[in-house]
Chain A
C-alpha cells in the first residue's frame, strides 16, 4: 500500500474515537509537541531580560519571563498528564469498535465454510487486536500513533522556526540528519520485529504448552502422568527457538548504534560550534544562542522516538488482516437478494434432500453421496450410523451451514437457499454435539437458543420444565442468574450432563419460540439414565407440531422413533421403523443386537462388531 493510503487507513480507524475526544486529543497533543520550542523561547526571553540589564530591579524585570517559563512548564506537565487518559479512551473506543466489527463479520454470513478455512482463521488471529507479544499493536495504537506523528511534525516545524531565528541553514543541517536518524532507527526496529516474528511459530508451540499447564484437563494429565518437567522442558526449548533470532540480530546491532551516534554528534557539534562562535563575534544575541542550543537537540528527539512508527506499521498489519477477512467472508450477493420465496407458514414443514452431494473443499471423497431423504411433518426421525458415516455433515447441510455441491435441500418444495438463511433458521433448532458453553447466566444460555426474538420468560420456564432442568436450577446459587463458568464471580462449572440439559432447554426454548424442526446430535451422551429417559419421554410427548431429527448412538433411545434411517457411506442404506429394520436383519439389526445383548447377559461374552472408520475433521 502506498504510504499515504496507509496513513489514511489509520486516520479512518481514528474516527471510531468520535469527534469530541479526537478534538481534545489533538489539542493536548499539539500542546505537547510545542513544548520544546516554547521552552526554548521562554528561556531566551528570560536570558534577554537578564543579559545586559542593570542589577537593580533585575528580579522585577525577570518576573514576567519567569512566570511565562513556569506556565510553559505547567502546561507541559498538564498536557502530558491529560494525554494518558485521553489516549486510553481513544484506543479503547477504536479497538472496541474494531473487535466488535470483526466479531460481527465472523459471526454473520449464512454458511460456516468460509470461517472454517484455515487461512481465515489465521487472518482473524492477526486481526483480533488483542496483543500477545511486543510486536503486535492494535488499531488504536496505530491510529493514535499516526495522529501523534502528524502533530509531531508541527512541533518539529516550530523548533525549526526557532533555529531559523539564527540562520536558515541550521534547519536543513539538523533536520536532514534528524529525519535520517529516525528512519534508520525504524528500519532497525523493523528488522528486530522480523527476527522476532520468525520465531513466533516456536512461541505458539510454547504457549500451547503453557496453556496446557494452566488448564484443568491437560493439567490433570500432566500431573497424573508425571509430565511436569517434560512439559517445562518443551516450553524452554520453544522459548529458545523464539528468542534466538532476536539475539543473533542484537549481537550485530552495535554498528547501528555507532552510526546513530555519528549522525547526531557531527551535525549537532558543527551547528553548535558555529552558533556559539558566531554569537561570540556578535552575529546574534545570547538569547537567540540559548534558544538555538536548547532547540537543536529537541529536533533529534522529535524524530528519534520511533514508537509512533512502530505502532503505525504493526497496527496496519492488524487492519490489513481485517480487510482481508472482510474480503474473504464477503458474499457475491446479499442473502436477502436470494430470499425470494414465500414466507414461513408457521406450521410443520416437509423437508427434502434431493439427490444431495457434498465434498469438503480440497478433498475428493463425497461425504454425502446422492442422498435422498424426506423429513415429514411432526415426525420423530432417527438417523443412525457409525462415526464418520456423514451424520454431522448431514446436519450442516440441513441447517444451511454448508451448501450442497450438487442437489438441493427443500422446505415445502422451496430450496432453502432461496428461502434465505435467516428465515429458514427461524424454523429450525439444532443441538450440536460440540454445543456452545457461554460463560453467561443460565437464562442467557437457554435464551440464546433463539437469539433473534426478545426474551420470553414463560417460554424459558417451560423449556426448563421440558428439559428437566429444574433440579439443576435448584442447586445453583442464583438460579437463573448464575453464570455458568467458574471464571465468573458467583459462577459455577456444570458437569457434562448438566450442560447437556441446559442445551436441551436451549433447543426447546427455540421450539417454544417458533422452531418447527428440532435436530439433536447425540443429545444424551452425557446424561444419566433417569434423565435421558425423562427427557425423551417429554420430548416425544411435547414436540407437538415440531418434527424431530435425532442422531444417536444409543439405540435404546432410537427405537422410540417413528422412523429410523441408517446412514452409510454418505447415503441412506436402510429406512423403516425399529421393528421393520430388526426384522430385515441388516446392519441396524446387528448394531441393536450388540447393545441389547449387553443388557441381557453382561458384556463379557458378546462377540466383537466390525466398526467403521473414523473421520478426521480436517476441514476446520
Chain B
C-alpha cells in the first residue's frame, strides 16, 4: 500500500508593509466596535508596566528599611509591594486575554470579511486542488487565530516594554546589568527558531491528520457503518486511523522536541549572562556601591524577568505562529486579486438569446495535470435549443458545462454568447441568468423551503414561487413527507432531517427551477438516483420547461447524461471522448452516421427491444 506522506506547502514571505496594513485593519476593526475597551486595554497595560517597577522598588525599600531596623517604613513598603503585586496580577490577567470583550467583537467584523473574500473568488480551483484546499482550510480558521495573534503582538510590545523597564531597574543597581538587554535577544531569537520548526511540522503533517479525521469519521457515522460492518473492514479502518494518527503525532512530537532544544539553548545563554551580572552586583555590594536591598531586588527582578521575558517570547512566538494563518490569508487575498484582475467582463447578458452560445476551439487543462480535459471544442448551440452532452466518464462533459458557468476559464479558445465573449460578460450578471442542478449539487443545512428558494434569492421566502418550483421538479412528494413542510430543517449536522439521495436530488432540481428566465439551463446527470417513473416525470417536465424557456428567452438547455433514453429528443447531441468533440447532431443523424453514438445507443436500446 502507498505510504502516507504529507504535502509541502511552500511558505511565502510577505513584505512587512502587508503585515502593517493588516495590523492597521485589525486595530481599526476593534476600535470601531469597542473604543472604550481598547482605551482600557492600553491603560491597563501601562499600569502593569508601572506595577512591575513599583513592586521591585517597594521590595528593595522593604529590605533596606528592615536592615536599618525601621519597622514602620519596612511594613509600609511591604504593604505597597503587596498592593502593587495584586494590581499587577489582576490587570495582567485581564490584558493577557483580551477576549471576549475586544477580540470577539472584532472577529464579528473580520470573519465575514475573510469569508466574503473566499466567496468572491469566482473560479473553483481553490476548492478542488489539494494543495490549495490546505490553504483554504487554514484561511477558514484564520480569523480567530489572526485576531488572537494581533492582540498577542500588542501584548508583545508591552512585554518588551516591561522587559525594558525591568532592565532599567537593574541598571539602577549596576550599569553593567544593562548589558543583559543584549543577552535577552538570544532566547527571543532561539524561541522563534524553535517555533518555526513546530509550524513547519504541523503543515507537513496536515494531510495525514486529515486522513485520520476522515477514517475516524467513517468509523463513527452510520452511513459508512453499514458497509464497514458487512465488509468486516472495521478492524482495518481503525488500524489505518491509528496509524495515520501516530504518523502525524510522531512528526509533530519530533518538531516539538527540536523546538524545546532551541528554547532551552536560548535560556542557557541568558542564564549565564544573568549569573555573571549578579556576580557584578555582589561585588558592588562588597565595595559599598549597593545595598542588600539592591541585591534582593536584582534577584527578585530576575525571577520576574524570567516571566517577563517568557511573556515576551511566548507572545512574539504566537505572533510568529500567526504567520501560518496570515500567509494563507495574504495568499487568498492575492488569489482573489488575481481572480479579479482576470475579470475583464463588464457587460450584462442580453435579455433574450437570439443566436445562441458558440464554442471557438475551446481547451482546458486542470491545474496540476497535463491531460486536456477539453481539447479544441468548436460547436454552436443555437438559441432555444435543447443540447445533450453524452460521453463516457472522464470525457469532459462536466468540465464543458462548468466552463459555460464560468467556473473555469478556458486556457485556449473562447466561448461567445450571442457573439459576446463570455469573458467580457460580468460573471455575476451572467450567472444570474443561469440555472443549474449539478451532479454534486449543494445540500444546504437550512429549511427545505430555503433549500429550494435559494435558487432565486430575491424570492427566497416566496412560498408560492417555491411551491411552483417544487411541483416543477416533481418534489411535492418529498415535501409532503416532511414533518414541518417548508420549514423542516434539513441536514444531520445541524440536527435536521437527512434526506435520501433521491430526495436531495429532487430538492436540487426544485432549486434549479426557481429562476424564471434563465438564458442557460444546465442539468448535470440530474436523475441518477431516481426510479423510472420519477425520472420519466422529471424529464418530461424539464423538457417542457426547456422548450417553453427556449421559446420565450431563447434559452439554451444543456443536459449532461449517460442515459441515452433521455437524450434522444434533444435538438443537438454532443458526443465527447477524452475531451474532444467526436460527433454532434440530432439523434437521427447520429444514428444514421453509425459512429460512436449509434454504437452506445444500440447497447441500451437492445436491452428493451425484444418485448412490448
Segment 519-569 of A: residues with Cβ below 8 Å from B: 522, 525-531, 533, 553-557, 559
When the two chains form their complex, are residues A215 and B127 in contact, meaning their CB atoms are under 8 A apart? Answer: yes
Q: A112-B229, A527-B562 are in contact. Are A489 and B216 (CB under 8 A)?
A: no
Point out the residues of chain A lying under 8 angstroms from B210, CB to CB: 439, 487
CB distance from B190 to the nearest CB of A (A): 10
When the two chains form their complex, are residues A452 and B235 in contact, meaning their CB atoms are under 8 A apart? Answer: yes
When the two chains form their complex, are residues B107 and A243 in contact, meaning their CB atoms are under 8 A apart? Answer: yes
Point out the residues of chain A lying under 8 angstroms from B302, CB to CB: 73
Q: Once the chains are docked, how many angstroms separate the CA of A272 from the CA of B137?
A: 53
**Is B353 in the interface zone, CB < 8 Å from A?**
no
Point out the residues of chain B lying under 8 angstroms from A617, CB to CB: 498-500
When the two chains form their complex, are residues B115 and A487 in contact, meaning their CB atoms are under 8 A apart? Answer: no
When the two chains form their complex, are residues A82 and B264 in contact, meaning their CB atoms are under 8 A apart? Answer: yes
Q: Once the chains are docked, how many angstroms separate the CA of A250 from the CA of B264?
A: 38
Pick the contact of B540 from A109, A300, A528, A603 — CB < 8 Å?
Answer: A603
**Is B5 in the interface zone, CB < 8 Å from A?**
yes
When the two chains form their complex, are residues A239 and B108 in contact, meaning their CB atoms are under 8 A apart? Answer: yes
Interface string of A59-72 (1 = CB under 8 A from B): 10010001101100
**Is B532 in the interface zone, CB < 8 Å from A?**
yes
CB distance from A558 to the nearest CB of B (A): 10
**Is A228 in the interface zone, CB < 8 Å from B?**
yes
Segment 564-615 of A: residues with Cβ below 8 Å from B: 578-579, 582, 591-600, 602-604, 606, 608-615
Q: Once the chains are docked, how many angstroms separate the CA of A515 from the CA of B279?
A: 82
CB distance from A532 to the nearest CB of B (A): 8
Q: A130-B213, A261-B86, A293-B81 are in contact. Are A100 and B245 (CB under 8 A)?
A: yes
Q: Once the chains are docked, how many angstroms separate the CA of A595 from the CA of B238?
A: 44
Q: Once the chains are docked, how many angstroms separate the CA of A192 from the CA of B133?
A: 34
Q: Once the chains are docked, how many angstroms separate the CA of A448 from the CA of B432?
A: 44
The stretch that binds B, out of A149-157, A217-225, A370-378, A403-411, is: A217-225
CB distance from B73 to the nearest CB of A (A): 8
When the two chains form their complex, are residues B130 and A608 in contact, meaning their CB atoms are under 8 A apart? Answer: no
Q: Once the chains are docked, how many angstroms separate the CA of A55 from the CA of B220?
A: 74
Q: A106-B225, A112-B226 are in contact. Are A224 and B405 (CB under 8 A)?
A: yes
**Is A361 in the interface zone, CB < 8 Å from B?**
no
Q: Once the chains are docked, how many angstroms separate the CA of A546 from the CA of B84?
A: 84
16 pairs from A and B in contact (CB 8 Å cutoff): A66-B275, A81-B267, A88-B249, A96-B246, A99-B241, A111-B229, A112-B226, A115-B220, A208-B491, A297-B85, A386-B531, A440-B1, A559-B607, A591-B533, A616-B503, A617-B499
What number of residue pairs across chains A and B have CB atoms under 8 A from each other? 600
The stretch that binds B, out of A2-10, A340-348, A350-358, A425-433, is: A425-433
Q: Once the chains are docked, how many angstroms separate the CA of A386 from the CA of B108?
A: 48
**Is A124 in the interface zone, CB < 8 Å from B?**
yes
**Is B365 in the interface zone, CB < 8 Å from A?**
no
Q: Once the chains are docked, how many angstroms separate the CA of A556 from the CA of B605?
A: 8
The contact size tier of chain B is 35 or more
When the two chains form their complex, are residues B82 and A102 in contact, meaning their CB atoms are under 8 A apart? Answer: no
When the two chains form their complex, are residues A448 and B101 in contact, meaning their CB atoms are under 8 A apart? Answer: no
Segment 30-87 of B: residues with Cβ below 8 Å from A: 59, 62-63, 65-72, 74-79, 81-83, 85-87
When the two chains form their complex, are residues B271 and A100 in contact, meaning their CB atoms are under 8 A apart? Answer: no
The contact size tier of chain A is 35 or more
- Most B CB contacts (10 A, CB to CB) among A50, A102, A209, A506 go to A50
Interface string of B1-39 (1 = CB under 8 A from A): 110011100000000000000000000000000000000
**Is B119 in the interface zone, CB < 8 Å from A?**
yes
- The list of the 5 closest CB pairs from A to B, nearest first, reads A451-B233, A556-B607, A272-B78, A221-B442, A58-B286
- Most A CB contacts (10 A, CB to CB) among B79, B393, B503 go to B393
**Is A167 in the interface zone, CB < 8 Å from B?**
no
Interface string of A118-134 (1 = CB under 8 A from B): 10010010001010000
CB distance from B249 to the nearest CB of A (A): 4
CB distance from A437 to the nearest CB of B (A): 9
Segment 117-137 of B: residues with Cβ below 8 Å from A: 118-120, 122, 124, 127-130, 133, 136-137
Pick the contact of A221 from B59, B292, B438, B494 — CB < 8 Å?
Answer: B438
Point out the residues of chain A lying under 8 angstroms from B200, CB to CB: none
Q: Once the chains are docked, how many angstroms separate the CA of A275 from the CA of B74?
A: 9
Point out the residues of chain A lying under 8 angstroms from B65, CB to CB: 276, 280
Pick the contact of A88 from B253, B288, B393, B436 — CB < 8 Å?
Answer: B253
Q: Once the chains are docked, how many angstroms separate the CA of A396 from the CA of B493?
A: 23
Point out the residues of chain A lying under 8 angstroms from B454, CB to CB: 221, 225, 227, 230
When the two chains form their complex, are residues B492 and A121 in contact, meaning their CB atoms are under 8 A apart? Answer: yes
**Is B537 in the interface zone, CB < 8 Å from A?**
yes
**Is B428 in the interface zone, CB < 8 Å from A?**
yes
Point out the residues of chain B lying under 8 angstroms from A145, CB to CB: none
What 17 new A-B contacts, CB under 8 Å, besides A100-B241, A224-B431, A491-B130? A51-B67, A89-B256, A92-B245, A121-B222, A209-B445, A221-B511, A261-B87, A277-B72, A293-B62, A396-B226, A426-B232, A436-B228, A525-B528, A528-B600, A529-B564, A556-B607, A596-B612
**Is A47 in the interface zone, CB < 8 Å from B?**
yes
**Is B230 in the interface zone, CB < 8 Å from A?**
yes
Point out the residues of chain A lying under 8 angstroms from B456, CB to CB: 225
Segment 31-51 of A: residues with Cβ below 8 Å from B: 39, 43, 46-47, 50-51
Pick the contact of A579 from B78, B140, B440, B611 — CB < 8 Å?
Answer: B611
Point out the residues of chain B lying under 8 angstroms from A211, CB to CB: 493
Point out the residues of chain B lying under 8 angstroms from A598, CB to CB: 536, 565-566, 568
Nearest CB in chain A to that of B310: its residue: A80
Point out the residues of chain B lying under 8 angstroms from A223, CB to CB: 119, 122, 124, 407, 431
Q: Once the chains are docked, how many angstroms separate the CA of A478 from the CA of B101?
A: 53
**Is A187 in the interface zone, CB < 8 Å from B?**
no
Point out the residues of chain B lying under 8 angstroms from A257, CB to CB: 90, 94
The stretch that binds A, out of B170-178, B318-326, B475-483, is: B475-483
- Most B CB contacts (10 A, CB to CB) among A260, A434, A614 go to A614
**Is B185 in the interface zone, CB < 8 Å from A?**
no
Nearest CB in chain A to that of B524: its residue: A220
Interface string of B83-124 (1 = CB under 8 A from A): 101110110001000001100110110011001101110101
CB distance from B139 to the nearest CB of A (A): 8
When the two chains form their complex, are residues A212 and B492 in contact, meaning their CB atoms are under 8 A apart? Answer: no
Q: Once the chains are docked, how many angstroms separate the CA of A593 from the CA of B495?
A: 42
Nearest CB in chain B to that of A76: its residue: B306
**Is B525 in the interface zone, CB < 8 Å from A?**
yes
Point out the residues of chain B lying under 8 angstroms from A593, CB to CB: 612
Segment 201-246 of B: residues with Cβ below 8 Å from A: 207, 210-216, 218-238, 240-242, 245-246
When the two chains form their complex, are residues A448 and B231 in contact, meaning their CB atoms are under 8 A apart? Answer: yes
Point out the residues of chain B lying under 8 angstroms from A110, CB to CB: 229
Point out the residues of chain B lying under 8 angstroms from A264, CB to CB: 85-86, 89-90
When the two chains form their complex, are residues A436 and B224 in contact, meaning their CB atoms are under 8 A apart? Answer: yes
Nearest CB in chain A to that of B132: its residue: A486
Q: A100-B242, A216-B124, A525-B528 are in contact. Are A387 and B607 (CB under 8 A)?
A: no
**Is B338 in the interface zone, CB < 8 Å from A?**
no
**Is A269 in the interface zone, CB < 8 Å from B?**
yes
**Is A247 in the interface zone, CB < 8 Å from B?**
yes
Point out the residues of chain B lying under 8 angstroms from A387, CB to CB: 500, 502, 530-531, 534
Nearest CB in chain B to that of A89: its residue: B253
Q: Once the chains are docked, how many angstroms separate the CA of A364 from the CA of B272?
A: 78
The stretch that binds B, out of A158-166, A313-321, A494-502, is: A494-502
Nearest CB in chain B to that of A300: its residue: B89
**Is A104 in the interface zone, CB < 8 Å from B?**
yes
Nearest CB in chain B to that of A97: its residue: B242
When the two chains form their complex, are residues B536 and A103 in contact, meaning their CB atoms are under 8 A apart? Answer: no
Q: A43-B299, A66-B279, A611-B531 are in contact. Are A235 and B115 (CB under 8 A)?
A: yes
**Is A390 in the interface zone, CB < 8 Å from B?**
no
Q: A88-B252, A525-B528 are in contact. Are A596 and B303 (CB under 8 A)?
A: no
When the two chains form their complex, are residues B612 and A599 in contact, meaning their CB atoms are under 8 A apart? Answer: no
When the two chains form their complex, are residues B207 and A216 in contact, meaning their CB atoms are under 8 A apart? Answer: no
**Is A422 in the interface zone, CB < 8 Å from B?**
yes
**Is A19 in the interface zone, CB < 8 Å from B?**
no
When the two chains form their complex, are residues A226 and B442 in contact, meaning their CB atoms are under 8 A apart? Answer: no
